[in-house]
Structure 1
Amino acid sequence: MHGKGMSSQGPKDFKSALRRFWFSIREWKVKIIVASILSLVSTLLMVFGPMILGMMTTSAMESLKNQGAINWPEINFLGFVLIATFLLSAVISYIQGVVTSSLSVLYEKKLRNSILEKMRKLPIGYFDKTPNGDVMSRMINDVDTISVSFAETLTQIITSFTMLFGYLAIMLYLSITLSLIAIIAVPISTIFISVVLKKAKVYFAAERATLGKLNSIIEENFSGQLIIKANNHAGKSIKSFDKMNTRLYEESRRAQFLSSLTFPLTHVFLNLAYAGVCMLGGYYVISGAISIGGIQAFIQYLNRFNRPITEVAQLSSTIQQILAAAERIFNFLEETEETPEVEKSLFKQIMNKDRKFLGEVEFRNVNFSYDVKPVIKNFSVKIEPGMQVAIVGPTGAGKTTIVNLLMQFYDPNDGEILIDGVETKKMRRDEVRDLFGMVLQDTWLFSGTIMENLKYGAKKISDEEVYKAAKMVGVDHFIKSLPNGYQTVISEDSDNISAGEKQLLTIARAVISEPMMMILDEATSNVDTRTEQLIQDAFSKLTKGRTSFVIAHRLSTIREADLILVMREGNIIEQGNHKELIAKNGFYAELYNSQFSEDV
C-alpha cells in the first residue's frame, strides 16, 4: 500500500510533528509565500464570479422592466469582466501549481537524500534490531504520502479558507438573515464529524501497526522462499499472511467507513441549510427585500460554500496523515548515530616515509556487550605483521564480533584496538575500513554487469587487471562461459549463477581491491572441495605479506594459519598453530577431531 493509506494514523505529538515539519521546509519559505499569494489571488478572483453573474441577471431584469429591452452594452461589459476574471484566475492558478509541485518534488528529494545519508551514519546495531521492511516503508511509503499530499494540501488550505471567508463575507453583504441559516449548519456538522473522526483514529492506529507487521511478513516470505519450500512451510506461511491480511482488511474497512462519513454528514446539514435559504430567499425576492440577481448570486455562493467546508473537514485528516508520515521520518532521522568521528585523525602515523603499511594488530583488554549481554570479555591478543590468523569456536563464541569491532562496525565498551600502534578510535572509520578487504559468508552482488561488480570498491583499475585477478581466483573460465562474458548483467537474485559462483565473484572482487589486510568470514562455505582448494591457493597469494583474519567452521581451511585463536563465550581459551593445538589435545583438538578424525 502506498500514499495516503500508509499514514492514516495521526502523529503521536501533533505540535512537535508540525514544528519539525515546518523546520524541515523553511528553506523554501520564499516559494511557500509566493505560492500562497498566487493561490490567494487566484481564489479571490474566482470568488467574485457569482457576484458578477448576479449583476448581469439584475441588469437584464431591470433593463427589461424599465426600458423594455436588455441593456446589451452593460451585459457585454460584465461578461467580458467575468471571462477576464476566470482566465486570469486560471493562469495564476497554473503558475501556483507549478511552484507548489516543484516545492513538493524538492522536498521529496531532500527527504530521500536525508534518509539515505542517515542510513550511512547509523550503527550496524540499528539494522540488527530493525526490520528492513520498516526502514523501506519510511523511505518509500511515508515519503510518497508526503510528496503526493503536500502540494495539494498547501493549495487546498489557502484556497479553502480564502473561499470560505470570501464567500461568507459576500453572503453577509447580500443578506445577514440568509447567511445565518447557512452558518448555523457548520458547528452542528463539525460536532458530529469530530465524534466520528475520534472513533476512526483508533482504527487508523491499529491499521498502521498491522501494516508494519504485514510488511515484515511479506519481506520474510519473499527473501526466505528457499527455506520455506525446503521445510514445506508454504501452507503455514500463507495462513499466517492471510490472517494478518484479513486483520488489516477489517481494521482498514472500519477506519475508512468511519472517515468516509465526514463527507455525507457535512452535506446533510448543508443541504438542509440550502433548502431553508431557497424558501426564505424566494419570499425576499417576492417582497422586494433582495433583487433576483442578488438571490441568484447568494444561492451560487451557498452552493459553493459547501465545497470549502467539506475540504476543510477532509483537510484535518490529510494533515494528520502527512504529519504522521513526517513524524516517522523525523524519528528515524533522529536515531542515535555512530559516535562522532575524531577531529584530527592519526591515520598517517601508521605509514612510514615509503608509505609501507606494516599490519600489526593488537586487542588490549577489549570488552563488548550487545545490549546488556556480554559478548567479548577482556579480550587481548597481539598479531604480528603478515600473520594469517584464524578464529574458531562454536556458534555465539564472539568470532564475528571480533571482526565487527576491528572494522569499527561496533565500538568496544572498554579496552583498545590498535593497528600499527595507533588506536582505531583515533582514526576515521572510512580510513580503518579502507585497510581491509572483506569476504563474507553471505554474498552480495548488485544489479549490473560482472565487470562492474568486480570493480566495486576499487579505486582505479583496468579491465586487464580484472582479468588477471579473475584467473588468479579461478573464476575467469566460468565468466567466459556466460553469454556475454564479463558484460553479462547479474544481480543478487540471478538464478543463472550458483551460490558458489557468487562467492567466487565476491572473492575476486576482494582480490581486485588490493587491500592492506584481509578478512574472510566463512568465505568458502558455499563452494565444493575442488573450488575451495582453488580459493585457498588464491588466498595464499593474496595474503602473502598481508595480515589476514579468517573465521572458519571448516577447519581444513585453516591448517596453514600462523595463529589460531580458539574462542568460547567471548574469551580466548587456546591459541597457537594447528600442530601445537592438536598436540595440546584440548578444545581445538576436540573440534577438529569431530570433523576430521581420520586426519589425526
Structure 2
Amino acid sequence: MSNRSRANRPTPDLSDANNPHAQKAQNFGPSAKRLFGILGQDKNTLIVVFIFSVLSVGLTVLGPWLLGKATNVVFEGFLSKQFPEGTTKDLVIAQLQAQGDTNQASMLENMNLVPGSGIDFDRLASILLLVLGAYLLGSIFSLIQARILNRIVQDAMNRLRIQVEEKIHRLPLSYFDSIKRGDLLSRVTNDVDNIGQSLQQTLSQAITSLLTVIGVLVMMFIISPLLALVALVSIPITIAITVVVAKRSQKLFTDQWKQTGVLNARVEETYSGHAVVKVFGHQKDVQEAFDEENDSVYKASFGAQFVSGIIMPSMMFVGNLSYVAIAVVGGLQVASGSLSIGAVQSFIQYSRQFTQPLSQLGSMANLLQSGVASAERVFELLDEKEQDPDPLTPATVAHSANRLEFKDVSFGYTEDNTLISNLNLEVRSGSTIAIVGPTGAGKTTLVNLIMRFYDINEGSLTLGNTADSAIDVRTMTRADLRSRTGMVLQDTWLFAGTIRENILYGRPDATEEDMVAAARAAYVDRFVHALPDGYDTVLDDEAVNLSVGERQLITIARAFLANPRLLILDEATSSVDTRTELLIQRAMSKLRQDRTAFVIAHRLSTIRDANLILMMEHGEIVEHGNHRELMEKQGAYWTLYNSQFQAPAQHESQTDGDHI
C-alpha cells in the first residue's frame, strides 16, 4: 500500500492515554487465567506431569527424614560406646536420675541405647542406600516431568502463534492503519517469545515448589506440631510481601513491554527509511528520539526488575528469622527429651526446604508478571474486532465477469469524515479506467473498495458480465473476489527468495513456460540473464541487489502471470525509466485486452489512451470522459493536464530570461 493511500486515514498515537493500543488490555487475574487456559488443552498430559511431580517431590521429601534416622543411629551408637558393656539402658537412666541429671536421663529414654555396642554400621548403610535411591528416583521423575512439561509449553506457544497468525489474516485493513508496524511486530514476536520463556522458567518450578511446601509441611507436623506452627508464622508475612510488591511491579512490567513496542516501531521506521534520514540530515534528530524512547524502556525495565527483585531477599530474611526460631525451640525440645537430635536435624532441613520453595515462588513472581504483561498485549491483539465474515452461502459469478457498477456509494475511513459521497459509476467489461486527481482526492480509496480492503458504508458495488447478472461483491467471499484481481502498487513488495519464486507468487501452479512468458512480457527477461544465477538469483527481504525499477518489473510480471480479469495499476510505472515505461505500456495494452483495468496515475501522459478518465476531487468524480472529451471541456482535467506540461516550459522561459 502506498503512502498516498494513507493520506485520509487516522494514524496511531501510542503515547495518547486514550489510545486503546497504549493501554493495558486486562488486569493480572483474568489475563493469567486466560494464559493458563491455553495450557489446559493438554489436560491429560498435565495429569501425567502432576503424577511425576508428586512422585519426585515425595521421594525428595523423604530424604531428610531418612537422614534424621541415620543421624540417630550414629549418635545412639556414639553414646552407647560411652557406657560399659553389660549394663542396661534402664540401669544407665536410673544412675543418671540418681545423680540429678534428669535432662540427660530424659533424652536417653527416647533413644535405642545398647551400652558398649557402638555404631550399627549395617543399619546405617541400609538407611543411606535408601536415601541414595530416593534422591536418584526423585531426580529421574523430575527429569521426566520437566521434559513432558516442556513439550506442553512449546505446543501451547505453537497454538498461540497459529492463533495470532490466523487473527492477523482476519483483521481489517483499518486495524493495520491504526497501529504502528513495529508495535505489531513486537506483539507477534517479542511478546509471544516472552510468554513462552516465562512459562518455561516458572511452570515446572512452581509445581515442584507448591508440592514441596505441602509435602514438607506434612512431614513437619508429623515430626513436631509445635515446631510446625513456629514455621507457619512466616507464611502470612511472606504472602503479604508478595502481594504488595506484585501489585506495583505488574504495572511496571506492562509499561516495560508497551515501551518496548514503541521503541521497536521507531527502529523499524528508521531502518526502513534510513536512506531518507541520511539524505535530509536527520540522523541527530532520529538519535535523540531513539535515546529518549530507549531511556523510557530502560527506566521501565529497571523499575520492574528492581521492584519485583525485592521479593526474593525479603522472603529469605523472613525465612532466616523462622530458621532461628526453629533452632532455639528445637534445641529446648531435644534437651527436654521431647525430640531426638535426628528429628531436630530433619526438621531444620525441612524448614530450609519449606522456606526455599516459598522464596522461589516469590522470585518467579517477576517472571510470571512479565509473561502476563506480554500476554495482555497478545490477547489485546486477539480480541480486536475482525472484519465482517464472508457469507455462509456465498454467491459467485462467472470467472470472466469484469463489469463493475457503483450505485450511490458513500464511504469514509471514520464515521465523522465521509470521503466519497453518492458515487455512481458504470465500468464496462474490457475497458480501461484511469483515475486522476490531486493527492487525497480518493483515487486509491476507490481501489480499496473494489478489492474490499474496506467495505462501503452505503450503496452497493456489483460485479457481473451484464447488469442483469451482476451481484453485490459483499455477497461473495473476499478470496473469490481477489482471485479475479491482479494488483501492482507503487511500493514494490518482494519476499526473501529467488526471482522465480517471486514471479510464481502470482500463480504458484504455473509452468516454467508461463513464468518465462510473463517475465518477457514485463521485460524482466531483459535483465535477469545478466544476474549470476538468472531466475534462481536469491533476493533478500529488501531486494537491495536490484534497482527500484527492476523490482517493479518483477511485481508487474507477477501480475501478468496471475492472468486476472480485473487489473489494478497504482502508479505501477512510476519507478521505471521513460523507455521501460513505454515498453511496459505496450505490454499492458495487450494484457488489458478483454480485461477491466483501473489505472491510477499522476503522469497524465501515460493514460491518454484510457477508455474512460475519472477526474476526482474531495472524493467525488467531478469530470469523466476520454482524454479528448475532457480536454475540450477545459475543466479540472484540462487545468491539471496543462499544469504538468506548462510548468516546465515556464521554468525554462524564466531561466532563459535570467541569462539575458
TM-score between both structures, scaled by the size of structure 2? 0.85
The verdict on how the C-alpha distance between 1:56 and 1:10 changes in structure 2, with shifts beyond 3 A counting, is farther
- Conserved 8 A contact 2:249-2:366: no
**Structure 1 residue 60 displacement after superposition:** 2.4
Residues 1:350 and 2:387 aligned together = no
- Conserved 8 A contact 1:11-1:323: no
Residues 1:464 and 2:513 aligned together = yes
| More divergent stretch after superposition (234-243 vs 334-343) | 334-343
| More divergent stretch after superposition (311-320 vs 78-87) | 311-320
Alignment match, 1:454: 503
Cα shift readout 1:500-521 (whole Å, capped 9, x = no counterpart): 1100110011111111121100
For residue 449 of structure 2, what is the amino acid of its counterpart? L
For residue 421 of structure 2, what is the amino acid of its counterpart? K
Alignment match, 1:25: 39
Alignment match, 2:263: 214
Distance 2:38 2:323 in 1: 43
| More divergent stretch after superposition (54-63 vs 386-395) | 54-63
Alignment match, 2:434: 390
Alignment match, 1:359: 402
Aligned to 1:370, what secondary structure does the other structure show? coil
Residues 1:549 and 2:563 aligned together = no
The verdict on how the C-alpha distance between 1:170 and 1:10 changes in structure 2, with shifts beyond 3 A counting, is farther
Alignment match, 1:163: 212
- Conserved 8 A contact 1:405-1:412: yes
The 5 Å alignment of 1:35-184 reads 35-64=49-78, 65=80, 66=114, 67-184=116-233
For residue 325 of structure 2, what is the amino acid of its counterpart? G
| More divergent stretch after superposition (367-376 vs 65-74) | 65-74
For residue 399 of structure 1, what is the amino acid of its counterpart? K
Aligned to 1:350, what secondary structure does the other structure show? coil
| More divergent stretch after superposition (577-586 vs 20-29) | 20-29
The 5 Å alignment of 1:476-555 reads 476-555=525-604
For residue 382 of structure 1, what is the amino acid of its counterpart? E
**Structure 1 residue 383 displacement after superposition:** 1.1
Distance 2:247 2:184 in 1: 29
Distance 1:530 1:374 in 2: 40
Q: 1:406 aligned to 444, 450, 474, which one?
A: 450
**Structure 1 residue 286 displacement after superposition:** 3.3
The verdict on how the C-alpha distance between 1:447 and 1:219 changes in structure 2, with shifts beyond 3 A counting, is same
For residue 529 of structure 2, what is the amino acid of its counterpart? K
Aligned length in residues: 585
Distance 2:430 2:482 in 1: 18
- Conserved 8 A contact 1:172-1:179: yes
The 5 Å alignment of 1:165-314 reads 165-314=214-363
| More divergent stretch after superposition (558-567 vs 467-476) | 467-476
Residues 1:594 and 2:643 aligned together = yes
Distance 2:605 2:256 in 1: 53
Distance 1:50 1:94 in 2: 21
**Structure 1 residue 468 displacement after superposition:** 1.9
Alignment match, 1:428: 477
The verdict on how the C-alpha distance between 1:273 and 1:11 changes in structure 2, with shifts beyond 3 A counting, is farther
- Conserved 8 A contact 2:486-2:566: yes
Aligned to 2:390, what secondary structure does the other structure show? coil
Aligned to 1:130, what secondary structure does the other structure show? coil
- Conserved 8 A contact 2:246-2:365: no
The verdict on how the C-alpha distance between 1:346 and 1:110 changes in structure 2, with shifts beyond 3 A counting, is same
Residues 1:585 and 2:634 aligned together = yes
Alignment match, 1:5: none
Residues 1:417 and 2:469 aligned together = no
The verdict on how the C-alpha distance between 1:10 and 1:508 changes in structure 2, with shifts beyond 3 A counting, is closer
TM-score between both structures, scaled by the size of structure 1? 0.93
For residue 486 of structure 1, what is the amino acid of its counterpart? Y
Aligned to 1:444, what secondary structure does the other structure show? coil
Distance 1:468 1:192 in 2: 72
**Structure 1 residue 173 displacement after superposition:** 2.3
**Structure 1 residue 215 displacement after superposition:** 1.7
For residue 206 of structure 2, what is the amino acid of its counterpart? I
**Structure 1 residue 362 displacement after superposition:** 0.8
Q: 2:377 aligned to 314, 322, 328, which one?
A: 328
For residue 522 of structure 1, what is the amino acid of its counterpart? E
Cα shift readout 1:343-370 (whole Å, capped 9, x = no counterpart): 22221x335xxxxx14211111111111
- Conserved 8 A contact 1:500-1:527: yes
Q: 1:380 aligned to 424, 436, 439, which one?
A: 424
**Structure 1 residue 586 displacement after superposition:** 0.4
**Structure 1 residue 102 displacement after superposition:** 0.8
Distance 1:114 1:102 in 2: 18
Distance 1:121 1:202 in 2: 30
Distance 2:541 2:122 in 1: 76
Distance 1:245 1:15 in 2: 29
Aligned to 2:531, what secondary structure does the other structure show? coil
**Structure 1 residue 247 displacement after superposition:** 2.5
Q: Which runs of 5+ in 2 are unaligned?
A: 1-22, 81-113, 465-469, 650-660
Distance 1:500 1:17 in 2: 48
Aligned to 2:307, what secondary structure does the other structure show? helix
Residues 1:440 and 2:454 aligned together = no
For residue 360 of structure 1, what is the amino acid of its counterpart? R
Distance 1:10 1:532 in 2: 50
**Structure 1 residue 323 displacement after superposition:** 2.8
For residue 509 of structure 2, what is the amino acid of its counterpart? K
- Conserved 8 A contact 1:10-1:321: no
Distance 2:333 2:602 in 1: 95
**Structure 1 residue 569 displacement after superposition:** 0.7
Task: Give RMSD over aligned pairs.
Answer: 1.9
Distance 1:98 1:203 in 2: 32
Aligned to 2:588, what secondary structure does the other structure show? helix
Distance 2:227 2:571 in 1: 82
- Conserved 8 A contact 1:350-1:422: no
Aligned to 2:314, what secondary structure does the other structure show? helix
The verdict on how the C-alpha distance between 1:19 and 1:281 changes in structure 2, with shifts beyond 3 A counting, is closer
**Structure 1 residue 22 displacement after superposition:** 4.2
Cα shift readout 1:44-64 (whole Å, capped 9, x = no counterpart): 111111000111111222234
For residue 369 of structure 1, what is the amino acid of its counterpart? G
| More divergent stretch after superposition (47-56 vs 336-345) | 336-345
**Structure 1 residue 172 displacement after superposition:** 2.4
For residue 538 of structure 2, what is the amino acid of its counterpart? V
| More divergent stretch after superposition (545-554 vs 321-330) | 321-330
